[in-house]
């Protein structure tokens, strides 16, 4: 849990193409202590059956920016169904013929404030995504 000098971060992923949480997506958390500082990996997790990462560590004191890296390609390959007739298909993976994600990775970078909780949901579909600061 965060203190007055640290921030906390949480996230969840909703698959808007099926209206359900996205389980099993690998998520990596990185932090830096200034715009020009190097990124420091803090930990990784995977979304649970409710699409949530409940075990991400708090960034260290002095963190100004946080980055969440979502590895969505494997999830989309497992769970996204073939489009209905007339709908555009995802690009094919040349060689295997299996569909792959248009956006295989999603990286979200945001500023954090000490003592505040930052919840950043990812709304995902095979051809796009959206993020926002939640509560």
What are the residue ranges spanned by the domains of the chain?
8-82+90-131
| pLDDT for residue 109 | 97
Classified by CATH at the fold level, domain 8-82+90-131 comes out as: Immunoglobulin-like (2.60.40)
Q: What is the pLDDT along the chain (135 residues), one digit of tens a residue?
A: 555 668 999 999 999 999 999 999 999 999 999 999 999 999 999 999 999 998 999 999 999 999 999 999 999 988 665 555 555 555 554 445 445 678 999 999 999 999 999 999 999 999 999 999 998
| pLDDT for residue 91 | 54
Closest by CA position to 1, among listed 128, 127, 116, 82: 116
Q: List the beta bridge partners of residue 111.
A: 65
The maximal CA–CA distance of the chain, rounded, in angstroms, is 54
CA distances from 2 to 37, 39, 74 (A): 22, 20, 32
pTM of the entire predicted model = 0.83
Q: List the beta bridge partners of residue 69.
A: 28, 107
Instruction: Give the phi and the psi of residue 59 in degrees, each rounded to 5.
Output: -65, 150
Neighbours of 31 (CB within 10 A): 23
Strands 128-131 and 122-125 come out as antiparallel
Cα 22 to Cα 35: distance, rounded to the nearest angstrom: 31
Cα 75 to Cα 23: distance, rounded to the nearest angstrom: 8
Cα 108 to Cα 96: distance, rounded to the nearest angstrom: 30
């Amino acid at each position: 849990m965060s203190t007055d000098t640290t921030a906390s971060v949480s996230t969840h992923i909703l698959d808007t193409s099926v209206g359900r949480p996205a389980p099993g997506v690998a998520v990596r958390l990185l932090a830096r202590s200034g715009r020009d500082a190097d990124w420091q990996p803090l930990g990784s997790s995977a979304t649970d059956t409710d699409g949530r990462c409940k075990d991400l560590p708090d960034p260290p004191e002095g963190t100004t920016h946080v980055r969440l890296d979502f590895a969505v390609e494997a999830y989309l390959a497992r769970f996204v169904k073939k489009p209905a007739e007339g709908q555009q298909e995802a690009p094919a993976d040349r060689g295997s013929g299996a569909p792959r994600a248009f956006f295989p990775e999603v990286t979200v970078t945001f500023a954090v404030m000490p003592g505040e909780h930052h919840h950043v949901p990812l709304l995902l579909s095979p051809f796009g995504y959206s993020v926002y600061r939640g509560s």
